[in-house]
Amino acid sequence: MSNTPPDILYSKTHEWTRLEGEEAVVGITFFAQESLGDVTYVELPQEGDSLAAGREFGSVESVKAASELVSPVSGTVIAVNASLENAPETLNTSPYGDGWIARVKLSAAPVGLMDAAAYEAHCASEKH
Amino acid sequence: MPFIPHTPQELEEMLAIVGVRHLDDLFADIPPEMRPRRFRLPKGRSEAAVCAFFEELAARNGTNITSFLGAGFYAHDIPKAVDALAGRSEFYTAYTPYQAECSQGTLQAIFEFQTAVCRLLDMDCANASVYDGGTALFEAAMMAVRATRRQTLAVDEAVNPIWRKMLATYIAGLPITLKIVPQKNGISDLRALSDAPDKECAAIIVQNPNFFGAVADYSEVFAAARAKGALGIISVYPVMQAVLKTPGEMGADVAVAEGQSLGQPLNFGGPYLGLMACKKEHIRQFPGRIAGRATDLNGKTGYVLTLQAREQHIRRAKATSNICSNQALCALRTLICLCLLGHGGLGRQAERGMHLARLAVKRLTSLKGVEPLNAAPYGNETALRFPVPAERLVSALIDRGFAPGYPVGRHYSDMENVLLLACTETNTPEQIDALAEAMGGLL
Amino acid sequence: MKTIFAESVPGRSSGFFESTAPSAAQMLPAGLLRACPPCLPECSELDVVRHFTRLSHLNYSVDANFYPLGSCTMKYNPKFTEYAAGLPGFARLHPLLAQLGRGAAQAQGALRCLYETERLLCEITGMEAFTFQPMAGANGEFAGVSLMVAYHRAKGRKRSKMLIPDSAHGTNPASAALAGLEVVNIESREGMVAPEVLAASIAEYGDNIVGLMMTCPNTLGLMELHLPAIVAELRKIDALLYYDGANMNAILGKMRVGDVGFDVVHLNLHKTFATPHGGGGPGSGPVGVNGRLLPFLPVPRVAMGKDGGFFLDSNLPLSIGAIGPFYGSFSVVVKALAYMLRLGGEGLERVAEYAVLNANYLKKRLEDTLDIPFERPCAHEFVASAPEGLRALDIAKALLDRGFHAPTVYFPLIVRECLMAEPTETESKQTLDAYVDVLREIVEQGRKDPASLTAAPLSMPVRRLDETAAARRMALTEDM
């Protein structure tokens, strides 16, 4: 799998979202998991939580770092990936697949997100 | 100069390598106008002179007084082996075990301490200690505030007023409300405590034995809290915990204790340590350092500081607490003390204190006008009502060589005549007789 | 090594405490008792002594190893201070005795210790008063921040922003947050707080600013060069200046924080004043204030009466309350007082001079071995980066193999592959030279054979431990 799949949208804070009609799946990017290192814990939102784009909705921890999850979309959480509780390493091995974090029923169309090319440029600028 | 090893010749060599002529040249970044306006300190003294000075000061403290003072802080017999082992400089001149491979002694001791605390309090997880019983209570309250996202704390009025004052100070800048649940005549009001939690309540906070020495079972209170989505927090006296129903058995979410009684001398107030333990589901909200078992590259067992992403050096403003240094050496003393006492020794200390307290109650209530404050079951400490103001009684007795206890009227209304009296294994029946005799002459 | 629980033998006892008291079941109703006794180790005294003696052998310590941990001031802890603090007249004193009527007369020696330490610390820092209640540095920070908030509140202001440089210790932002404040990050310029960066924050947040928390010299080991301008900027909006005393060892007798405009300071007695770190505590974090903040100090305070006797004074109507249960880590304070009396004013100034000399000597001698980002003379510690291609962590572990504790690594966060060393004044030239030789050897070895460093340490009780697995599969007690 590519490190920046083309079919999804990206945020500056390194979350991704895949739009599926009125719903969206949310996770963290390859770049995010790589800079965190081995993920040891994911603090998940709860079903029913309302998310606002640009606001924190959970966090990810490794041994040496912690990072807040910032929602790329606005809406209501309709499912969370509970398997991450016991297997946080999935975020490292499959950030765009089995490592998805939450499924959201959108309350508004997402704005200000990047496509894969723009995101790659964004990551390149952050490395320097 | 003591503790500075440089010879004059070495000083010259080092200055030359650094490239300055005088030591003060190293401080060129502090311009003259920023130098001290004055720095008038006494001249240094010999080690012998300093020691003599402290010997003289220490002799001015009345430690030969016969004391029944407790109020959360108790004199106990401490095995001398605790001093010998905790006094090993491999422990006391080490720092926080950041480099695990050269700190396995400290790390394994923390792991063992956590195990001992969990078994004593009957909880799943413990941390490596916080500063004292008061900060432990505050940290526990903050865990509940984060876990529930609620802002009200219901606190039993019979929780030690010293810790309640600290709690109020610590939350002064936060949008948190303290709701005090009144005690009744020194007894915690279980009904009112059970009714206290509402949908704004983050936690209910109780103490066992309570400040007045009364022992209770808070199971129903914690069940009521849970039903309302609040946490149950309990502060306990760890020596008495050898025999009393445990926080775990009562269904508490977080258990804390002032750990002084386990291996720390009274030391005029510190250093002590706060014990903290919780159920596993609350581990992510836990403050402070935690040691965990790990394996090395060869599969050998070792210990590391773990779950550090909760802590200030990683999460900064979003950490679960600001605590960095804790009370590691005190925790080591507590662990060694618990190992030397075992459950048998600890239980016997608790029972000896309880037995003497009953003797004291019997003896003192035989004096005219002296009666127990209430009929509640008690441990090694209990409150008595006197026919005279307790403050006056205490002053008079101190002059006669007794610290008979703590006057509770300074914290509670309508209790001017009430004295809180504690016994531990350091007291004797003869002391109780002598106290009764001295009191008799004053009533 | 087996744990003490694994070494427990059912039925064994040290016999330390025997008694003939009735059992708890005879004195309390069954419903109030625990179902079974706590499962504590059952050991003889020798079992316990041997276990903990062996555990102690697994530690590095100042008494056995050079321990140049930056920001921690791991200086030698003189032994006579332990003697002074352990005197039974102090150790057996109940803290509440002094609060009872006629009780202060029974605690005159202890109260005088606190009083004299306060006077000395005021002279050293140029402050007007100290509280000893804070039980460690971070606890002192919280107390200091609370005092700053109280100051503004007394003036009828509700301010909510605390300015903190990005080089600060993590405790600074955590303490400000704990006190209910929002942290505004101040970006360093050439390792320092720049007046123009500060001015920009002040322009943005104006009179919503409580104050600025500074570490000086800062965590890069550099003196802040713009202090007067910083003080002036803050005064304009009546914001307060906090001094984080972690690096006080660098300025004893050379600068008094009260003289140069700081309003509040916490000291770490366990750093600057040579009380032992105890494997992570107990510390002591007394907080000093100038006249502006004095009315808000915690109570009780130690005061001297007209007759020269000492008493506890709780009459401070604007006090923030109680940060600790009594008077702080009293026996730690006694040790610090003993140290100060032994050294005297001249000795304390020498401490700063030799601490800074040792750091600059080490820095100079390591210039061609490590990447040193700042050429300016350092204070009592300095930062360096691992040479290109090497990792700070590997160098740290290789040092352990050679009998040296590692410097602080990966802090401050703004320095790449950071190694931060603080040698302190108590180390000899021979020790520093040996450390330089060993570091050179390690870097040379790393250049030739990088993999050999990642294998270190090889000679310690354990090899590198799998922290990720430990965090994922928590085993926090013997029973998990």
> Mind giving me the DSSP string for C198-237?
HHHHHHHHGGGEEEEEEESS-TTS---TTHHHHHHHHHHT
- Tell me if chain C has a CB within 8 Å of the CB of A40: yes
pLDDT category of residue B294 using cuts at 50, 70 and 90: very high
Question: For the residues B64-79, what does the mean pLDDT come to?
Answer: 97
Beta-carbon contacts of B33 under 8 Å, excluding residues fewer than 6 positions away, are none
Beta-carbon contacts of B213 under 8 Å, excluding residues fewer than 6 positions away, are B186, B357, B378, B379, B380, B381, B382, B383, B420, B422
Are residues B369 and B405 part of one domain? yes
CA–CA min distance B155, chain C (Å): 17
Are residues B245 and B358 part of one domain? no
pLDDT at C92 over 70: yes
Q: For strand C129-131 and strand C287-289, is the pairing parallel, antiparallel, or unpaired? A: antiparallel
Under a CB-based contact definition with an 8 Å cutoff, are residues C122 and C144 in contact?
A: no
B246 in any annotated domain: yes
DSSP class of residue B378 equals: B
Note whether C331 contacts B271, CB cutoff 8 Å: yes
pLDDT category of residue A128 using cuts at 50, 70 and 90: low
CA–CA min distance A67, chain B (Å): 8
Question: For the residues C333-344, what does the mean pLDDT come to?
Answer: 98
Q: Which of these three, B317, B337, B357, is where a domain ends?
A: B337
CA–CA min distance C199, chain B (Å): 22
Note whether A64 contacts C410, CB cutoff 8 Å: yes
H or E element at residue C122: helix C108-125
Q: Could you tell me the residue range of the domain that residue A87 belongs to?
A: 9-123
pLDDT at A1 over 70: no
Under a CB-based contact definition with an 8 Å cutoff, are residues B122 and C39 in contact?
A: no
Are residues B270 and B353 part of one domain? no
N-terminal to C-terminal alpha carbon distance within chain C: 18
Nearest to C197 by CA among C223, C172, C241, C163: C163
Q: Which chains touch B (3 or more CB pairs under 8 A)?
A: A, C
Provide the CA B288 distance to its chain's centre, in angstroms: 15
Beta-carbon contacts of A121 under 8 Å, excluding residues fewer than 6 positions away, are none
A108 in any annotated domain: yes
Note whether B3 contacts C78, CB cutoff 8 Å: yes
Are residues B347 and B264 part of one domain? no
B47 in any annotated domain: no
Question: For the residues B63-90, what does the mean pLDDT come to?
Answer: 97
In angstroms, rounded to a whole number, what is the distance separating the alpha carbons of residues A60 and A44?
A: 9
Token pair 């004052």: residue: B165
Which amino acid, one-letter code, is at C92?
R
Note whether C468 contacts A88, CB cutoff 8 Å: no
In angstroms, rounded to a whole number, what is the distance separating the alpha carbons of residues B258 and B266?
A: 12
Number of other CB atoms surrounding residue A83 within 10 Å: 12
Under a CB-based contact definition with an 8 Å cutoff, are residues B225 and B150 in contact?
A: no
- Tell me if chain A has a CB within 8 Å of the CB of C2: no
pLDDT at C413 over 90: no
CATH number of C81-341: 3.40.640.10
Q: What is the largest CA-CA distance in chain A?
A: 39
Strand ranges across the sheet with B381-385: B371-372, B381-385, B418-422, B406-407
- Give residue-wise pLDDT tens across range C378-397: 999 999 999 999 999 999 99
- Burial status of residue C12 (CB atoms within 10 A of its CB: 0-12, 13-18, 19 or more): middle
Are residues B193 and B94 part of one domain? yes
B8 in any annotated domain: no
Number of domains in chain A: 1
Rounded to a whole number of angstroms, the CA Rg of chain C reads: 25
Quick one: closest CA in A to C474, which residue? A40
Q: Which of C42, C43, C45, C48 is most worth mutating to test chain B (most B CB atoms within 10 A of its CB)? A: C48
Which residues of chain C lie closer than 8 angstroms to B129, CB-CB?
281
pLDDT at C179: 96
- Tell me if chain C has a CB within 8 Å of the CB of A128: no
Note whether A40 contacts C471, CB cutoff 8 Å: yes
Number of domains in chain B: 2
Q: What is the CATH number of the domain that holds B149?
A: 3.40.640.10
In angstroms, rounded to a whole number, what is the distance separating the alpha carbons of residues A77 and A49?
A: 5
- Give residue-wise pLDDT tens across range B359-401: 999 999 999 999 999 999 999 999 999 999 999 999 999 999 9
| DSSP E strand boundaries for B223-313 | 231-236, 254-258, 274-278, 291-295, 301-305
CA atoms within 13 A on the CB side of A47: 5
Note whether A65 contacts B309, CB cutoff 8 Å: yes
Task: Select from A43, A66, A68 the Cβ nearest to the Cβ of B314.
Answer: A66
- Tell me if chain C has a CB within 8 Å of the CB of A76: no
The secondary structure of C48-94 as a DSSP string is HHHHHHHHHTTB--TTTS---BTTT------THHHHHHH-HHHHT--
In angstroms, rounded to a whole number, what is the distance separating the alpha carbons of residues C198 and C194?
A: 6
- Tell me if chain B has a CB within 8 Å of the CB of A71: no
Q: Which of these three, B277, B307, B337, is where a domain ends?
A: B337
Which residues of chain A lie closer than 8 angstroms to B307, CB-CB?
41
DSSP class of residue A99 equals: T
pLDDT at C70: 95
H or E element at residue C429: helix C429-448
pLDDT at B357 over 60: yes
H or E element at residue C304: strand C301-304
Are residues B389 and B414 part of one domain? yes
- Tell me if chain C has a CB within 8 Å of the CB of A23: no
- Tell me if chain A has a CB within 8 Å of the CB of B313: no
Are residues B276 and B405 part of one domain? no
Are residues B228 and B326 part of one domain? yes
Which residues of chain C lie closer than 8 angstroms to A37, CB-CB?
468
Provide the CA A82 distance to its chain's centre, in angstroms: 15
pLDDT at B63: 81
Question: What value, to the nearest 5°, has the Cα angle with vertex B86 and ends B80 and B89?
Answer: 125
- Give residue-wise pLDDT tens across range B237-289: 999 999 999 999 999 999 999 999 999 999 999 999 999 999 999 999 999 99
Question: For the residues A78-106, what does the mean pLDDT come to?
Answer: 96
A4 in any annotated domain: no
Task: Select from B75, B175, B312 the Cβ nearest to the Cβ of C171.
Answer: B312
CA atoms within 13 A on the CB side of C247: 30
Note whether B1 contacts C350, CB cutoff 8 Å: yes
Under a CB-based contact definition with an 8 Å cutoff, are residues A75 and A33 in contact?
A: no
Under a CB-based contact definition with an 8 Å cutoff, are residues C385 and C373 in contact?
A: yes
Which amino acid, one-letter code, is at B15?
L
In the beta sheet, which residues pair with residue A50?
Answer: A76
Which residues of chain B lie closer than 8 angstroms to A68, CB-CB?
318
Q: Which of C160, C374, C436, C477 is most worth mutating to test chain B (most B CB atoms within 10 A of its CB)? A: C477
Nearest to B334 by CA among B227, B408, B239, B234: B239
User: CA separation (Å) from C275 to B16, B20, C86, C398, C409?
Assistant: 32, 31, 13, 29, 23
Q: What is the CATH number of the domain that holds A38?
A: 2.40.50.100
Are residues B267 and B128 part of one domain? yes
Token pair 């490590």: residue: C370
Quick one: closest CA in A to B319, which residue? A66
Quick one: closest CA in C to A88, which residue? C472
Report percent pLDDT > 70 for chain B: 100
In angstroms, rounded to a whole number, what is the distance separating the alpha carbons of residues C336 and C269?
A: 6
- Tell me if chain B has a CB within 8 Å of the CB of A41: yes
Under a CB-based contact definition with an 8 Å cutoff, are residues B116 and C303 in contact?
A: no
In angstroms, rounded to a whole number, what is the distance separating the alpha carbons of residues B260 and B74?
A: 8
Are residues B330 and B189 part of one domain? yes
DSSP class of residue C305 equals: -
Which residues of chain B lie closer than 8 angstroms to A64, CB-CB?
308-309, 314
B200 in any annotated domain: yes
Nearest to B268 by CA among C167, C328, A35: C328
B111 in any annotated domain: yes
Nearest to C85 by CA among C285, C308, C341: C341
Nearest to C427 by CA among C405, C412, C409, C442: C405
H or E element at residue A19: strand A15-20
Q: For strand B291-295 and strand B274-278, is the pairing parallel, antiparallel, or unpaired? A: unpaired
Q: Could you tell me the residue range of the domain that residue B314 belongs to?
A: 80-337
Q: Which of these three, B337, B369, B385, is where a domain ends?
A: B337
Quick one: closest CA in A to C469, which residue? A40
A105 in any annotated domain: yes
pLDDT at A125: 87
Q: Which of B280, B282, B308 is most worth mutating to test chain A (most A CB atoms within 10 A of its CB)? A: B308
Note whether B309 contacts A68, CB cutoff 8 Å: no
Rounded to a whole number of angstroms, the CA Rg of chain A reads: 13
Under a CB-based contact definition with an 8 Å cutoff, are residues C340 and C166 in contact?
A: no
B19 in any annotated domain: no
Minimum mean pLDDT range among B213-222, C58-67, C406-415:
C406-415
Question: For the residues C445-450, what does the mean pLDDT come to?
Answer: 94
Q: For strand B125-126 and strand B152-156, is the pairing parallel, antiparallel, or unpaired? A: unpaired
What are the tokens at B439? 């009191």
pLDDT at B91: 98
- Tell me if chain B has a CB within 8 Å of the CB of A66: yes
Token pair 């008690």: residue: B378
Are residues B373 and B332 part of one domain? no
Q: Which of B187, B217, B297, B325 is most worth mutating to test chain C (most C CB atoms within 10 A of its CB)? A: B325
- Give residue-wise pLDDT tens across range C221-272: 999 999 999 999 999 999 999 999 999 999 999 999 999 999 999 999 999 9
The secondary structure of C4-17 as a DSSP string is TTTT--TT------
In angstroms, rounded to a whole number, what is the distance separating the alpha carbons of residues C59 and C67?
A: 12
B54 in any annotated domain: no
In angstroms, rounded to a whole number, what is the distance separating the alpha carbons of residues B99 and C410?
A: 12
Which residues of chain B lie closer than 8 angstroms to C42, CB-CB?
342-344
- Tell me if chain A has a CB within 8 Å of the CB of C472: yes
In angstroms, rounded to a whole number, what is the distance separating the alpha carbons of residues A66 and B320?
A: 12
The secondary structure of C173-200 as a DSSP string is HHHHHHTTPEEEEE--BTTB--HHHHHH
Are residues B391 and B328 part of one domain? no
